Amino acid sequence: MPDSRPRWPGGSTAGPAPSTLLLSGVRLSDGRTADVLIGGRRIEAVGAPGSLGTQGARLDLRGYLLLPAPAEPHAHSDTALTASPEHSGAHTADGIRRRATEAALLQLSHGATALRAQVRVTTGTGLAPLDAVLEAGRSLRGLMDLTVVAVAGPLTGRAGADGLALLRDAVDRGADVVGGRPDLDPDPGGHAEAVLGLAAGHGLPVDLHTDADDPALLARFAAMAGEFGPGVSLGPCGGLSRLPEDTAAAAAGRLAAAGVTVVCLPQGGCAGSRLRNAAPAGLLRAAGVRLAAGSGALRDATRPVGRGDPLEAAYLLAAQHGLDAAAAYEAVSATARAAMGLPGVRVEAGSPAELLAVRGDDLPGALSLAYSRIVVHRGRVVARTGAVREYRDPGTGSAHGDRDPGSGAVRENRGLGSGAVRDASARGPAGVLGLPRQGRTGPGGEL
């Protein structure tokens, strides 16, 4: 198969990686200001500003908050962006690959360095969507990690044998996770049992797409998951919010005891859901359930709006579900990564260099106004997004900011300002750090 990974200036596939990268003057979540030294794919040291030397590339991050990079545990990559006129009718294999790639790059720009893509594998779709998303994932190597869930159709009843054979073929083709939609099967319990059995035989994790509105069925899922062991996720579980509180709390307790991770969608249900409710995040956390949060649908026919932004998911958990900012961000970062089988990330020596720098002073502020972001994957800056605000000059010239000549406006740089790259070699003709530019140029500059 030809190498289809993105080409960088000079012809390489991943861009030249400096031996070290110094993130200087960044604010940490505990309020300290520090320098962070990255060597290869890991953080080498965290120290006081100016204490780690100046060799190698240096990125001035004064005014930025440094966080472990979030991950996206529930994306519908095969249907993403189908509501966009630009992609209308793009349901061919090549169209799915292009949409999945564009959606993943959008989510990368928001900070997600890992993404779990839910892809339908039914007798109606065949394996073409799976192959297309797998190809998109291969093309993004070096920028982000994309894993694929093969989401089965009916596995019992008249169509069950064909559905199970197709799911086996999907695993043989390279699906990373075995998934299913038990709510759409004539025998939901039998469906879950078939998914878990296939996954156990191949040593793969399980991701079941369910509304979780049937307490008896949910108890059965929890029992089977407990026997399976670690590696079972359920989501989006919006039906739990429709159950009486004591019933939902009892169901949550069973899920916690079984070690199941619930992946909720704070923006509401997605293409594979009958319900549009979000799961009761506070109740689940109070019961001890491992709670991750994802974005779900991204501008598809069932939900034509959406940003695919992990920080928006965390914001909604804090704003609408009562979680504090730290717990909300944990759901889109540490717990999401654990649900996806990825190592934990901390801003400390020895940790994987999977990082997100957000313009802001603290986590609540970052979740509220996260306009400018710099994303680090495997020790390299792989995406950068900035924003510029402009205000009309009141006419006296006394307003603070840089006047844009001839515009009569005051410019407040909220994006790349003090976070400019100091190492000239990091710039390239294709864009900052040699990254291909994405987006449009408007009156406020390139975003």
Per-residue pLDDT, 324: 97
Per-residue pLDDT, 87: 64
Tokens of 400: 């603070």
DSSP 397-417: S-SSSEEETTTTEEEEE-SSS
Per-residue pLDDT, 271: 64
Residue at token pair 């026919």: 301
Give the global pTM: 0.85
| Domain range 20-68+349-387+414-429, CATH architecture | Roll (2.30)
CA–CA gap between residue 40 and residue 21 (Å, rounded): 9
* Residue length of the chain: 447
Ordered per-residue pLDDT tens for the chain, 447 residues: 333 333 322 333 344 455 799 999 999 999 999 999 999 999 999 999 999 987 789 999 999 999 999 999 999 999 988 887 776 656 799 999 999 999 999 999 999 999 999 999 999 999 999 999 999 999 999 999 999 999 999 999 998 999 999 999 999 999 999 999 999 999 999 999 999 999 999 999 999 999 999 999 999 999 999 999 999 999 999 999 999 999 999 999 999 999 999 999 999 877 656 667 899 999 999 999 999 999 998 888 877 888 899 999 999 999 999 999 999 999 999 999 999 999 999 999 999 999 999 999 999 999 998 889 999 999 999 999 998 888 888 875 544 444 444 444 444 444 443 333 333 223 333 343 444 444 433 322 332
Per-residue pLDDT, 368: 93
Closest CA to 304 of 344, 271, 265, 340: 271
Cis amide linkage into residue 236, ω under 30° from 0 = yes
CA–CA gap between residue 258 and residue 103 (Å, rounded): 33
Structural domain spans, the chain: 20-68+349-387+414-429, 72-339
**Phi, psi values for residue 245, rounded to 5°:** -60, -40
User: Strand, coil or helix: what is 263?
Assistant: strand
Show Cβ contacts of residue 406 under 8 Å, excluding neighbours closer than 6 positions: none
208: left (phi over 0), alpha (psi -120 to 50) or beta: beta
Per-residue pLDDT, 90: 60
Show Cβ contacts of residue 13 under 8 Å, excluding neighbours closer than 6 positions: 3, 5, 6, 7, 141, 142
CA–CA gap between residue 11 and residue 95 (Å, rounded): 26
User: Strand, coil or helix: what is 112?
Assistant: coil
CA–CA gap between residue 411 and residue 397 (Å, rounded): 12
Q: Which helix H or strand E contains 299, and what residues bound it?
A: none
Domain 72-339 sits in CATH at 3.20.20.140
Per-residue pLDDT, 26: 97
**Phi, psi values for residue 186, rounded to 5°:** -60, -25
